[in-house]
Amino acid sequence: MKILICIKQVPDTEAKPVLCENGRGFFYDPARTAFRINRFDEYALEEALLLKDAHPDITIDAVSAGTPAVLPSLRRALEMGAGSAYLLAADPDAPLQGTAAAHCIAAFARSREYDLIFTGVMSEDDMGGITGPALAALLGYSWATSAVRQTPGDGTIIVERELDAVTREHLTLRLPAVLTIQSGINRPRYPSLSNKLRAKAMDIPVLAVDTSRVPVVERTEAVRHSRSKGTGIVIEGKTAEKAETLRSLLHGKSLL
């Protein structure tokens, strides 16, 4: 069985986005920003690694669409246990989000005939949740989002989806299939030393993306800082002063 994991590299939660002067884009200062694998994609990778632990003949490839800046996250996927990793090189000025990323990955995956493709339910930064279902549609595969359990069988896969806090959907889908993996369903492993050494020596092929085959379907016209709803106050002062101000405010509202 061949499994593909789609990985996105994201900035750390506390990273500070900087607006471009033209107001149509933003970037992160690479010197001041830590980047890592999207947390949801780590759960997707771990889910594949657990399958491989049980069935060692499974092969796992990792892929990311982006610039060479995302290579560290692909290296990390190799360290965790992916067998190979590929970078689909994109134009640095045209970040590949959502549908565009799905078109790139579909072009890569089509001839490789994966049985299963896992990715995170969404990215932590854009929260679009587009890549998985869009990729499945382009490849003509089955799909399910927000998977919390999956059991591949002979030509089919049983999937449990999380719909809300209490409701689960149980599906039997024909393979090949794309699943987007919900967070918290496993515990992504730390790379072993031997895997780290193995990954260090591995080549990550960089494949050019034929952008003429990626339809441009949307354009970002403006980006700005999220607005405050405008009624909140920020308590200033030293820690003890802030604590006293908060106590007094809560007391005034009869909440304490």
Partner 1 sequence: MKGTILSLIESGNGAATPESLDTLHFAMDLGARTGNSVTGMVLCAPGTTADLESLPQWGVDIAVLQNPLLDRYTAEGYTAVIRTCAEDTGASYICIPHTSGGNDFAPALGALLRTPCITAVNEIRGTGDAPLFTRTIAGGKLEADISPLAYPAVLTVSPGAHADCIPHPEKRNRCSEKHVTFALNNTLEVSRTCAAVASSDLLSAEVIIAAGKGVGTPEQMELLRDMASLFPRASIAGSRGACDMGLVDYGLQVGMTGKTVSPKLYIACGISGSPQHIMGMKNTGTIIAINRDPDAPIHHIADISIVEDLKVFIPQFIETVRNRGERSS
74-113 residues in contact with partner 1 (CB under 8 A) are 98-99, 102-103
Placement of tokens 């996105």 in the chain: 8
209-228 residues in contact with partner 1 (CB under 8 A) are 215-228
Task: Single out the residue of 102, 79, 137, 81 nearest to residue 8, CA to CA.
Answer: 102
Number of alpha carbons in the 13 Å side-chain half-sphere of residue 196: 5
Of the candidates 128, 151, 200, 210, which one interacts with partner 1 according to CB under 8 A?
Answer: 128
Stretch that binds partner 1, among 30-38, 77-85, 111-119, 156-164 (CB under 8 A): 156-164
Of the candidates 136, 181, 204, 209, which one interacts with partner 1 according to CB under 8 A?
Answer: 136
The H-or-E segment that residue 73 falls in is: helix 71-80
Residue 8 binds to partner 1 (criterion: CB under 8 A): no
Task: Name which of 31 and 217 has its Cβ closer to partner 1.
Answer: 217
Contact between residue 40 and residue 9 where contact means Cβ atoms under 8 Å apart:
no
Of the candidates 2, 26, 84, 207, which one interacts with partner 1 according to CB under 8 A?
Answer: 26
**Phi and psi of 132, rounded to 5°?**
-60, -60
Residues 6+ apart with CB under 8 A from 189: 46, 49, 80, 81
Contacts with partner 1 by CB under 8 A: the residue count is 85
Smallest distance from the beta carbon of 26 to partner 1, in angstroms?
Answer: 6
